[in-house]
Amino acid sequence: MRAPLKHETFLASSLTVGLRTRTALTTYEGEGIAAPRDLLQSFALAGFFQKFKTTLEMIKFEHTLFALPFAFLGAIMAANGLPTWRQLLWITVAMVGARSAAMTFNRIADREIDAQNPRTANRELPTGKLTVGFAWLFMYVSIGVFLLASYSLNWITFALSPVALFFVLGYSYAKRYTAFAHLLLGLALAISPSAAWIAVRGDLTEVPILLSLFVLMWTAGFDVLYACQDLDFDRRAGLRSIPARFGIKHSLLIAKLFHFQAFIVLLVLYLMIGMSWYALAGIIVVGVLLIYQHTLLKPHDLSRMNAAFFTTNAFVSVILLFTFGAAVFVDKIGQ
C-alpha cells in the first residue's frame, strides 16, 4: 500500500487536533466550565467595566452631587411644582454631559501639572491608567451628549449651549492667568439652576439669577478652602490662586466672606419670594453647615479638609433641594 504523502499527513493531523479541540470545548461547556472563548469574552467585559470605572474616577462622577440638585431645584421652581419627566430626563443628561466634558478637559489640560503635584500625581492620565487619546474621545462624546440634551429641551437652551461650554471648559485655564479662578469655577457651576429654569420656562428672572449667585459664592468659598492644600506647589509652579497670593490665613477669611455672601443671597431669595418655613429651615441648616465647615480648618491645621470639603458640601445642595422644593409644593397647595 502507498505511504501517505507529507501534505496528507499534515491535513490528517490538523483534522485530529481540530476534532480534539472541539471535543474539549464541548466537554468544558457540558460540565459547566467556561470555554476559552467564553473566558476571552469575560476578560473583555471585565476590562470594559474596569475602564468605565476608571473613567468615572477621572471625572469624579460622585461630585455631580454638588451641582445636579441645584439644576433640579431650578427646574422645580420654574415649573412651580414638578416638571415633566421628559424635562427632568434631558436636564439630567445635559448636566452629566456638561460636567463630564468639563472634568475631562480639566484633566487633559492639567495632566503635566498633575504629574508634578504629589497630591495629584496618582490621577488617571499622569499614571497612564487612561490614555490622553481616550480622554479626548470621551470629552467629545460628552459634549455631543450635552448638545443633544440641550437641543431636546428647547431652542433657547440649544442656542445658549456654546456659552455654557465656554465657561465650563474655559475654567481649566483660568488659574494660569488670575488668582480669582475660584469665582470662575463658581460661575461654571452657577449656570445649572438658571439653565434648568430656561429649559422649563424659556425665560430668565431674578429668582434663578439669585439661586445661581448663591451657587457661585458657595462654590468659590469651598474652592478657596480646597486650594489651600496646594499653596506651596502653586507658588513653585507659577499657578495663581487666592491662597498662593494671600496665604492660608487670609484665604480662610476670604472663604468665610464668600460663604457669608452666599448665605445673604439665600435670605434675599427667601424674602423676595415669600416661601414657607421649609425654605427658611433649609437656609438655617445650610448656615450651620457653613459655619461648621470653617471650624474644621485652621491656618496651621488643614488635616480635616476632606470632612470640610466633601462631607459638608455634599449636604448643602441636597438640603436646599428638599427644603426649597418642599416649600414650592406646600405653597402651591396653599394657593
Residue 8 counted as domain residue: no
Helix (H) or strand (E) holding 23: helix 6-30
Strands (E), 52-192: none
Whether the per-residue pLDDT at 5 is higher than 70: the answer is: no
Q: What is the dihedral of CA 17, 20, 22, 28, to 10 degrees?
A: -140
Q: What amino acid occupies position 6?
A: K
Distances (CA, A) of 321 to 60, 127, 131, 270, 325: 21, 37, 37, 14, 5
Residue 264 counted as domain residue: no
Q: What is the pLDDT of residues 23-51, one digit of tens each?
A: 444 444 444 444 566 655 665 666 667 88
Average pLDDT over residues 275-285: 94
Residue 279 counted as domain residue: no
Average pLDDT over residues 201-225: 96
Domain that holds residue 232: 60-254
Lowest-pLDDT choice from 9-13, 39-43, 119-123, 272-276: 9-13
Residues 6+ apart with CB under 8 A from 307: 296
Percent of the chain having pLDDT more than 70?
85
Length of the chain as a residue count: 335
CA angle centred on 234, ends 229 and 239, rounded to 5°? 135
Give the per-residue pLDDT at 312.
80
Q: What is the CATH number of the domain that holds 229?
A: 1.10.357.140
Question: Does residue 11 or residue 187 have the better pLDDT?
Answer: 187
Q: How far apart are the first and last CA of the chain?
A: 106
Whether the per-residue pLDDT at 303 is higher than 80: the answer is: yes
Using pLDDT thresholds of 50, 70 and 90, give the confidence band for residue 224. Answer: very high
Angle between helices 277-295 and 242-273 (to 10 degrees): 160
Residue 113 counted as domain residue: yes
Q: What is the pLDDT of residues 240-254, one digit of tens each?
A: 999 999 999 999 999
Whether the per-residue pLDDT at 265 is higher than 80: the answer is: yes
Cα–Cα distance, 156 to 319 (Å, whole number) = 29
Question: Does residue 272 or residue 47 have the better pLDDT?
Answer: 272
Residue 142 · residue 165 · CB < 8 Å: no
Average pLDDT over residues 160-184: 94
Using pLDDT thresholds of 50, 70 and 90, give the confidence band for residue 131. Answer: very high
Average pLDDT over residues 291-296: 92
Q: Residue 298: helix, strand or coil by DSSP?
A: strand
Q: Which three cell numbers stand for residue 44?
A: 473583555
Whether the per-residue pLDDT at 61 is higher than 90: the answer is: no
Residue 109 counted as domain residue: yes
Q: What is the pLDDT of residues 186-203, one digit of tens each?
A: 999 999 999 999 999 999
Residue 67 counted as domain residue: yes
Residue 197 counted as domain residue: yes
Q: What is the pLDDT of residues 65-118, one digit of tens each?
A: 778 999 999 999 999 999 999 999 999 999 999 999 999 999 999 999 999 999
Question: Does residue 21 or residue 63 have the better pLDDT?
Answer: 63
CA angle centred on 152, ends 149 and 157, rounded to 5°? 75
- What does the mean pLDDT of the chain come to? 87
Residue 165 counted as domain residue: yes
Q: Residue 241: helix, strand or coil by DSSP?
A: coil
Whether the per-residue pLDDT at 9 is higher than 80: the answer is: no
Q: Total domain count for the chain?
A: 1
Provide Rg for the chain, Cα atoms. Answer: 27
Residue 292 · residue 45 · CB < 8 Å: no
Residue 114 · residue 170 · CB < 8 Å: no
Helices (H) and strands (E) in the chain, counts: 15, 0
Give the per-residue pLDDT at 36.
62
